[in-house]
Amino acid sequence: MRYLHTMVRISDVDASLRFYCDLLGLKEVRRSDRPEHGYMLIFVAADENPDSQIELTYNYDPEEYTGGRNFGHLAFNVKDIYATCQRLQDGGVTINRPPRDGRMAFVRSPDGISIELLQDGEALAPAEPWASMENTGSW
């Protein structure tokens, strides 16, 4: 048995690729665009385990997607949590739970999918602006 992917729905392809790829750092690995069937699937993944994917489903008749409580979040290990959070923040993403401890942060995708970022290996030394940044919203 093998884990393949977690599917999440997206309401805006450009905004989602900007978030998941340009800002978060995942790579697009394959795409299946079937407008005649009303959907486009974009599979993205982290470079270290590209076979464990996130399937982004875009429906050509999109809804405004909201969340439920049975799903929690997606979690990724990153090499430098401060650099990742800086890139996300510079791109306009709210750092809902800043990495005050040099170890853990939470952000949300444009469609409200909660994303946990965990520092690879040992926690980084506390550093500003993160160390004194308050939480924003929920995650």
* Residues near a second copy (CB under 8 A): 1-9, 25-26, 45-49, 51-55, 57, 63, 65-79, 109, 111-113, 116, 118, 120
Contact 74, 55 (CB under 8 A): no
Out of 116, 122, 128, 134, pick the active-site residue. 116
Q: Which is nearer to a second copy, 108 or 128 (CB)?
A: 108
Contact 84, 78 (CB under 8 A): yes
The amino acid at residue 98 is P
Q: Which is nearer to a second copy, 19 or 132 (CB)?
A: 19
**Assigned token pair, 64:** 């405004």
For the CB of residue 60, give the shortest distance to a second copy in the complex, in Å.
16
Is 118 strand, coil or helix? Answer: strand
Has 28 been annotated as catalytic?
A: no
Distance (Å, whole) CA 112 – CA 125: 29
For the CB of residue 56, give the shortest distance to a second copy in the complex, in Å.
9
Q: Which letter does DSSP use for residue 133 in this model?
A: P
For the CB of residue 37, give the shortest distance to a second copy in the complex, in Å.
15
Please list the active-site residues.
116
